[in-house]
Chain A
Amino acid sequence: MRFNTIELRKRKRLSKSIKKKVFQKNKKKISLLLLTLLITFTVFTIETEAFYISNNLENRYTLDLENTETYDALTILNCKIEEGFANSILYINPYLNYNYQDEDLDFGIEEAYVDLYFTDVDLRIGKQQITWGKADGLVVTNLVNPRDYTRYPIFEYEEQFQAVNAVKTNYYFGSDSLELIWLPEFQPALIDSDLIAANLEGFKIDNTNIEIETKLENSELLMRYSSLGYDYDYELIAGYIWDDQVTFHNKISIPPDNHPFMTIIPEHHRLMVVGGSFSTIQGSFVLRGEGTYTIGKHYNINSKDIMEYKDGVVEKELFKWLAGIDYNYQGYQFSYQLLQEAILDYEDSIEQDQFTYQMTFMVKKPFFRETMDTELSFYYDTVQEQLMVKPKIVYDYSDQINFSLGANYQLEGQRKDDVLYFSTEYLF
């Protein structure tokens, strides 16, 4: 399935033939925002031990290099409010986005949770992001939060993941810890539904099975044991989770008129995952590794063999691993990562290749006493068959104001998602 983000975004805008005034269109959202702020400030004026608020006002402009036109123009207000009590912290991170292209005001809560601290136990309840693993930008063991594929380009690492409602418990034993996570409700990966519809044009789609009902037996459980040591740090993980991405089952129907047609039935499947990660130092090099073994992964069959498999899918086991190396030389930071996915007991009828690879290479260097960060990274993906280069410069004009300039440019590949972006950020 080939997605072209830029083309689909344009089609969405053109389809909006009626443009309403900002205030009338977003009246409900503005009212909800004001109500939330009122409640938040009322609650947070209760006397506490510590109160901290940090706001981030950012303007982002993204230019579509292919068509030399505006791809996106956003203003984002992000607030992080933290209130400390005797043995607990209340944290809320609301945001407000205004999209100039769509004239759309979006308000939401990025994270909101309470932390409770006991002697050797921490408890976090609420909407949160949880990061596992040693990889940068690639996902192997970082399985808790589902991806958000609708965001493009990615400005901050956390933007590619969605926060989830979870109960997280940590037990501490010296430098080791055991983390248990319960996700009571399933949250799928966020993919632009118009993108899917465009790629499945011509087929009938049955979404009956796509929803996962919120009930105890449908909840997700994950566990992580981590340790910091002299020779190496490591994590061991296990999870009983849902596949965040759907598998498209195919049902062939032959009606009385003998004209067969295919119905696409998207479904999520249960996965069992075990794995781990580690990092260690060898001289000036930092070596990192991750690996997972997954049971329950489903794959589509190619069209010529589709009739030989029930629903046109097959269940296989997956082994995924990553190796990374970091090196610092006279202030230049080099980082290389290689990720491989290997479908075990492979059959040639499977649409996806048995082995797929992703690679990243990055060089970073700060200048002018770390007021300017420069970064040049390359990303190669055998599934999308693309080689992308991502240069980026971030300049700290002051401790409150910074500017970013970057680009995502394809050197090879069929997708044309080349963009140039610029942002200004004010912290207060």
Chain B
Amino acid sequence: MSVSALLLVVLGLGLAGWLFARSRAIMFRRADSKRRIASLPNYHGWYAALWIAVPAIAFIVIWSPVSDALIMQTVLSHPAAANLPPFGLERESILSEARAVAMGNLGAVFNPAGRALVEPFSEAIGRYQLIGFVVTLIAAGLGGAFAFLRLKPDFRARNKVERTVLFILLLASLVAIVTTLGIIASLVFETIRFFGMVSPIDFLFGTHWSPNPMSNPDAVDPSLYGAVPLFWGTLFIGAIIAMIVAIPIGMMSAIYLNQYAPAHMRTWLKPALEVLAGVPTVVYGYFAALTVAPAIRNLALWVGVSNPSSESALAAGLVMGVMIIPFVSSMADDSIAAVPQAMADGSLAMGATKNETIKRVLIPAALPGIVAGVMLAISRAIGETMIVVMAASFAANLSANPLDAMTTVTVQIVALLTGEGSFDHPATLAAFALGFVLFVVTLGLNFIAMRVVKRFREAYE
């Protein structure tokens, strides 16, 4: 019996318990019509259902990975597993194939070495599934029995159920903390392992980047792990080229939409900008690689640049800038709208024209908010992956020429982790170290931006 079937059984039992406990509570009410029962019948139902389902589901959640490991252990200790290859892809594929056949997902094994393993697999799977099923039923039964024994006319089922509900709410809010901790833990552990092989100095200040996931993992050459070209490429594409496009256009369109545009144009232009933010990045990446990059290359050839790269930083940066326009625009729009109307009115009353008011009064007043918006936009741009994976290069280059091929942190993370490298290789671990740097930098930018916005908002309230 698979996990999903088991869950269905538990839910069915829970429903039965709900119905039974509820009808029992109704019977209490009927039996003694003068006294009121302490909680509504529905709460009695929920009380029973929770006691049936929660222990059983908790057991299933723990059991399913545990039973997988137990099955694997049983099969590997079987004599038929003795002549498996000791490690590597072939072993994995034989095992997963035999397993799939045993589960009935596959007609027959392709690799003859797996045939002998089908029988032990189906035996082990059958045994552990039976154990899982029985224990689940026992857990549900014990929980249900406990709940039913406590049902009485004066039992305060609602208070118990509500306490559980509140506990579940608390748990849900903790998922965010767990996720954050999970991110930090997974990045930090791998990064520490990486820094055990390559010193942080070499990594953060070295200028040569060409890790080879296929090289011997025991003889690490730290000089190949200098990430400065990546940091430079990331900044150049995300924080310089993209921002040269996004800041003026985003700012000007925010000012226009906020101050000049007639209402009917605003209702059309604002959603259009939002659509620009909703286009998936893989579409931007395709657009950059297919349309923008060749156009820039042709333009460069026409101007007379010899041998421009077809994966120039400029193409990726320009398209990324377009993607960022809506972020800058909406942040600038919000901060300009937050400036009190009296300030603008005062300036206009003194005879300043609208653009003088905007330049001398509104923008200086809104500047903290705008700066925060730009910081958020930069953090967005440097973490953007698909555009650069598809349009920028994989080769690390330390250059200030926008027509050169450059690579970014995110491109290298993808390149290092989608190869065939093993988890213990420094090249794979380097990807986590890069991810850690990216995480810290974006977190820092966001943190500062949020503080600025908060203080700015307080200033005008």
Do the two chains belong together in a single complex?
A: no
Q: Which residues of A contact B (CB under 8 A)?
A: none
